[in-house]
Amino acid sequence: MVKKVFPKLMSELSQLPHSYSKPVELAIIGGTGLYDLPNLKPVARLTVSTPWGFPSSPITISEMADGFPVAFLARHGQHHDLLPTDVPSRANMAALKSLGVKAIVAFSAVGSLRQEIKPRDFVLPTQVIDRTKGIRPSTFFEKGFVAHAMFGEPFDLKLYKLIKEAIPAQGFLEGFDKENLEPTFHTKDKEDLTLICMEGPQFSTRAESQMYRSFGGSVINMSCLPEAKLAREAEIAYQMVCMSTDYDSWNVDEDPVTVETVVGNLKANSANACKMAEKLIEVISKEFETGKSEIGEDLKGSMKFSVSTNPKAVKKELLEKMHFLFPGYWPIQ
């Protein structure tokens, strides 16, 4: 699937300008199954260098008919050649921040941990449990500069509300599954929809999958963290949209998850991901164009007051590095 999509796409994008002068407030991060924004006009393709390296892919800037710009980043690389563990999330977040991004909608394929969340359903999670192994860099603050970001609500509440109100539970997502049921868009009713983020790249054993269900998990992926944590540190509003491909391996009535199963459902999810991204871009752009949007406003300046280290005791080289993300927060002596 990737090989069919990319040659033509890469050829077209390579001809675009390599600079863009306007600030870009909204970004879409594409996961497995969402590799571009086909219904928007691409106007630039940026290779952004950050103190944490280069992002997963060049960032494509596309414009709506009214000129509103949207950034698109392929999480796993132009050719899907990055394992979840190897995604340069710090560079991704820093690059988007440098463009002026205030809000990110990130798409990701997931396994379902609940019978009611069937393959090809979409889910808007409200909580996350970190089951990665601590080998992914998960903070911009390094040795010599300590900070603690608030993360009780891992997804932005205002962005969540906007998305929930924009997409109905039934009737928006197209197609039918093998039991002739239409896809559902799941949002929080009373209980949280909890995303488990595991290390991978292997899928879960049945025992692990059943354990995650006992944790209260709703869906499972390998991509949410440290992405959401770093977005919070970068003071960017962040919400993930999950696309169910399988029942993971907990369901003894289903065959254990295979790549073939995942790819088949990914193809079905891809069109709906593009449709949803297009709708959300329309809704969120209108919110920003009012000039009165509150999305991300409560995050502004939050990291300035989250540090424990006296900035005067921080090495100049480290402060200069942080200046890329937080210009003017801490004086460089």
For residue 18, report the phi and psi dihedrals to the nearest 5 degrees.
-105, 20
What does the DSSP assignment read for 212-275?
HHHTTEEEEESSSTTHHHHHHHTT-EEEEEEEEEE-TTT-TTSPPP-HHHHHHHHHHHHHHHHH
Range in 48-62, 103-117, 201-215, 242-256 with the lowest mean pLDDT: 242-256
**Residue 188 contacts residue 161 (beta carbons within 8 Å):** no
> Residue 4 falls within a domain, yes or no?
no
Q: Which pLDDT value is given to residue 3?
A: 44
Average pLDDT, the chain: 93
The pLDDT tens digits of the residues spanning 63-102 come to 999 999 999 999 999 999 999 999 999 999 999 999 999 9
pLDDT at 275 over 50: yes
State whether residue 74 is helix, strand or coil. Answer: strand
Q: Which pLDDT value is given to residue 266?
A: 85
Taking the C-alpha atoms of 154, 241, 138 and 136 in order, what is their torsion angle to the nearest 10 degrees?
A: 140
Q: Which pLDDT value is given to residue 38?
A: 87
Helix (H) or strand (E) run with residue 73 in it: strand 69-74
> Residue 3 falls within a domain, yes or no?
no
> Residue 333 falls within a domain, yes or no?
no
Between CA 50 and CA 321, with CA 330 as vertex, the angle to 5 degrees is: 20
pTM of this prediction exceeds 0.75: yes
Q: Which pLDDT value is given to residue 63?
A: 97
The pLDDT tens digits of the residues spanning 186-230 come to 999 889 999 999 999 999 999 999 999 999 999 999 999 999 999
> Residue 330 falls within a domain, yes or no?
no
Q: Residue 36 — pLDDT band, cuts 50, 70, 90?
A: confident
CA-to-CA distance for 282 and 262, rounded, in angstroms?
Answer: 29
> Residue 5 falls within a domain, yes or no?
no
The CA-based diameter of the chain, rounded to the nearest angstrom, is 65
**Residue 105 contacts residue 159 (beta carbons within 8 Å):** yes
The reply, when asked if residue 138 is annotated as ligand binding, is no
More confident residue, 255 or 131: 131
CATH number of the domain to which 69 belongs? 3.40.50.1580
> Residue 120 falls within a domain, yes or no?
yes
Q: Which pLDDT value is given to residue 178?
A: 66
Q: To the nearest 5 percent, what fractions of the chain are helix, strand and coil?
A: 30, 20, 50
Q: Residue 307 — pLDDT band, cuts 50, 70, 90?
A: very high
Number of Cβ atoms within 10 Å of the Cβ of 41:
11
The reply, when asked if residue 32 is annotated as ligand binding, is yes
**Domain carrying residue 80:** 11-325
Q: Which pLDDT value is given to residue 4?
A: 44
> Residue 40 falls within a domain, yes or no?
yes
The reply, when asked if residue 209 is annotated as ligand binding, is no
The reply, when asked if residue 21 is annotated as ligand binding, is no
> Residue 1 falls within a domain, yes or no?
no
- Enumerate the active-site residues: 246, 248
The reply, when asked if residue 192 is annotated as ligand binding, is no
Write the single-letter amino acid at 81.
Answer: D
Q: What percent of the chain has pLDDT over 70?
A: 95
Would you give the distance in Å from CA 237 to the centre of its chain?
11
The reply, when asked if residue 79 is annotated as ligand binding, is no
The reply, when asked if residue 248 is annotated as ligand binding, is yes
Query: What is the pLDDT averaged over residues 47-72?
Result: 97
The reply, when asked if residue 132 is annotated as ligand binding, is no
Q: Which residues of 64-86 are buried (b: 16+ CB within 10 A; e: fewer)?
A: beeebbbbbbbbbbbebebebee
Number of domains in the chain: 1
The reply, when asked if residue 189 is annotated as ligand binding, is no
Which of 85, 84, 64, 1 minimizes the C-alpha distance to 35?
1
Would you give the distance in Å from CA 308 to the centre of its chain?
28
